[in-house]
Amino acid sequence: MPRGVAIPEPRQHLFAALEQVIAKDGPSRLTGRAVTREAGVATGLLYAHFANFDDFLCGYGVDRTFQISSEVAGLPGRAGSGTVAGNLFDAVLATPPRTLLALTRLMVFRPDLVANIEAVLGTGTAGLQAVERAIAGYLTAEQQLGRVPTEADTEALALAVVGVLHHVALTEETGSTAQTRIRRAMATLTDGFPAVAS
C-alpha cells in the first residue's frame, strides 16, 4: 500500500491480515512483521494501535470471539420454529469460516490467549465457548417445548455440535463438502427428535 494512504479501520485491516497469515503459513509463523507485510503497511501501524504483539493478539481474539458469539446469540429465540437439526446447522454455518479457522488455530497454538480474552469478555466466553453456551440454551428451550427429549443431555449435545464445528475448522474444510458433513452430523445428533412439540 502506498505511503500516506489512509487506511479505513486499521485494526480490522490488521486482523484480516493476521487471518491471511494463519491461513497461508500457520500460527507458528505469526509475527508482527508477517502481519504488517501481509497488510501492506509499515510495522509501526500495528504498534500505533496496540501496546505490543500480545496485546494485538488479545485484541484480535476479543474482536473475533465477539463476532462469532454475535452470530449465534439469537439461536435460543428460534426454539419452536423450523427443525432442531436445521437450526443447529444454520447456527454452525453462520460462523465465518476464515475467522473460525484462524481463531481456533491461534488459540490451540497460544492457549494463554483464553485467559486474556476472558479477562475482557468474562469467564467461559473465549473462542467457541460462547457458541457452546448459546447452543445449550437453545436445546434447553427446545426441550421445554417438547422438541428435544427430556432425557437428552443438552450440555453434552452442545459440546458435540461445537466439536463438529471445531473439527471442520481445524481440518480446513470449506464449501459444499464441509456443509454436507455438518448437515449429516446435525441430523445424526438429533435423530429421533420430534419435529413438533409433543
- The CATH number of residue 35's host domain is 1.10.10.60
Are residue 159 and residue 93 in the same domain, yes or no?
yes
Same domain, 82 and 34: no
Tell me what pLDDT residue 50 has. 95
Same domain, 65 and 44: no
Q: Give residue 26's domain range.
A: 1-49
- In the chain, the number of structural domains is 2
Q: What is the pLDDT of residue 1?
A: 43
Alpha helices in the chain (DSSP H): 10-25, 32-39, 43-49, 53-72, 84-93, 97-109, 112-121, 129-144, 154-170, 175-189
**161 and 66 share a domain?**
yes
Residue 78 lies in a domain: yes
Domain for residue 196, yes or no? no
Residues 43 and 91 in one domain: no
In the block, residue with C-alpha cell 464445528: 165
pLDDT score of 178: 79
Eight-state DSSP code of residue 28: G
DSSP 8-state class, residue 151 = T
Indicate whether 115 belongs to any domain. yes
Q: Provide the pLDDT for residue 155.
A: 95
176 and 103 inside one domain: yes
pTM of structure? 0.81
Say yes or no: 44 and 119 in one domain: no
First-to-last alpha carbon distance for the chain, in angstroms, is 60
Flag whether 195 is in a domain: no
Q: How far apart are CA 137 and CA 112, in angstroms?
A: 27
* 161 & 111 share domain: yes
Distances (CA, A) of 180 to 2, 57, 168, 185: 43, 32, 11, 9
Res 173: pLDDT: 62
What's the one-letter identity of residue 181?
Answer: R
Note the pLDDT of residue 198: 52
Q: For the chain, how big is the Rg over CA atoms in Å?
A: 19
pLDDT in tens, the chain (198 residues): 444 445 568 999 999 999 999 989 999 999 999 999 999 999 999 999 999 999 999 999 999 988 888 888 888 899 999 999 999 988 888 877 788 888 988 998 999 999 999 999 888 888 888 889 889 999 999 999 999 999 999 999 999 999 988 887 777 666 677 788 888 999 999 998 887 655
- Could you give the CA distance from residue 47 to residue 54 in angstroms, rounded to a whole number? 11
Q: Are residues 28 and 79 in the same domain?
A: no
CA nearest neighbour of 86 among 186, 2, 11, 170? 186
Q: Is residue 198 part of a domain?
A: no
Residue 197 lies in a domain: no
81 and 160, same domain (yes or no): yes
In whole angstroms, what is the distance from residue 172 CA to residue 101 CA? 7
pLDDT confidence of residue 10: 92
Of the candidates 131, 35, 12, 137, the one whose C-alpha atom is nearest the C-alpha of residue 76 is 137
Q: Is residue 176 part of a domain?
A: yes
Do both 65 and 40 map to the same domain? no
Dist. CA 120–CA 60, nearest whole Å = 12
Residues 13 and 39 in one domain: yes
DSSP letter at 127 equals: T
Angle at 69 between CA 76 and CA 13, to 5 degrees: 150
Residue 54 inside a domain? The answer is no
- What pLDDT does residue 197 have? 59
